[in-house]
Amino acid sequence: MVGEALPPLEALKKMAPEFEKQTGIHVEVEMYEHSEAVNKVQLDLNSHRGRYDVIIQPHRELGKFATNNHLVEIAKMMADPALRDPSFEPEKQLYQTAWHEISWYDGKEYGFPFTVLNMFMWYRSDLLADPKEQAGFKAKYGYDLAPAKDWKQYRDIAEWFYRPDQGFYGTALQGKRHEALWYEWLNFLYSFGGDVLDVKSGSACGPVIVNSPKAVASLEYYKSLLQFSPPDSLNYFWDDVMALMQQAKVAELIMWNDATYAVSVDTTASTVVGKVGFDLVPQGEGGKIGQVEGWTYLIPIYSKNPQAAFLFVQWMMGYDRQLEQHLNGGASGRPDVYASAEVQKLPYAKASMEANEHAVPKATLPQSAEMTDILVRELSSYLAGEKEAQAALDTAATDISTLLGSCAPMTYPAR
């Protein structure tokens, strides 16, 4: 099997020997950086080689895989009494909205959530509680220092803690020409009341609105934070900003729930355990928001061991394994795991649960990867000073509309 090299998959790898002991089925796990994990799967599927029996992939790839008939419909295996564990009832035990967005496409069930992901705000709770910082901040800005609830507060806090002479920064953007840039900016886009398409679900096609006035405002605000970020921010992606927080070099940022363990729990990796707080992304006109995002267990039709693959995935979806994985950096799709006393003790549990409740779907259309590439290109062009925000998003909207065809007219004509 193959997936992204992060704590959730590392936790799975540690549990796999117990499955091998119970069943005699050997589990081999390959772990790669996000983009490499996606590229290796794409090459394997296109070649029909069947190197992988289980692929763990971002859900935005699902439409492309499904429409190209690369995947086993998991419902067929669930209907086989020789394979199904009757104690696993996904229709009762999983977050239904997340499961259907992450693991279904066009009404068909292809898998189960490996992680139900979202992004939210990380902040240095110890610094925000420091009496000297509080007094100085209030004297300058006229209100109490506290975790940002809106983008003005977020900007003020970033400015206040911007101390480059001390190697400390107010915030850190993921400005590299990489999908991390797109993911991060979506938080700002949604919070400002914008979106890419005017649709209600990830598998739907509809009008392109990514160049709306709200979208432009969100992008201009996003770039304004560069002045409070490290000078190399245009080369940063998620690993870099996580490391900054682990090394106590940044006051606040927007990051993933599946990376929180490495910052707030793992004392071997982080110098700020016990010093980081978590909350929803600051609110704009769009109100409280999160992202529907996740990696999903899928079985390719080219798998040489599909039944064994299903048995392992089903085993991993059990409560005990889900709890163990969650406590070691995972992001379970089971509400009963979140409700456990052990998970409730985690400092990021409340923020992650709340972000799930306000999640905004993103495209899982077959063209979703190309849509992302278009936006990464144009966002990067704007951050680099090659275009204005309106021009960059106009180009993105035009190209996305052309890519999707007649189902995706432009609501806001390019200027």
- Pair 92, 190 in one domain: no
CATH of the domain at 63: 3.40.190.10
- Give me the domain span that covers residue 241: 119-290
pLDDT in the model for residue 27? 98
Retrieve residue 121's tokens. Answer: 């705000």
- Pair 284, 297 in one domain: no
- Pair 167, 269 in one domain: yes
Nearest alpha-carbon partner for 239 in 256, 216, 219: 256
**22 domain-assigned:** yes
Burial grade of 239 (CB within 10 A; 0-12, 13-18, 19 or more):
middle
pLDDT in the model for residue 75? 93
- Pair 269, 158 in one domain: yes
pTM passes above 0.85: yes
pLDDT confidence of 97, banded at 50, 70, 90? Answer: confident
Domain count, the chain: 2
CB of 53 within 8 A of CB of 1?
yes
- Unique residue bearing structure tokens 């456990």: 340
- Pair 142, 278 in one domain: yes
pLDDT digits (tens, 9 = 90+) for 160-187: 999 999 999 999 999 999 999 999 999 9
CA distances from 310 to 71, 77, 84 (A): 12, 7, 9
**158 domain-assigned:** yes
- Pair 127, 8 in one domain: no
Residue 405 has pLDDT above 90, yes or no: yes
Assign residue 115 a region (left: φ > 0; alpha: ψ between -120 and 50; beta: otherwise): beta
- Pair 21, 78 in one domain: yes
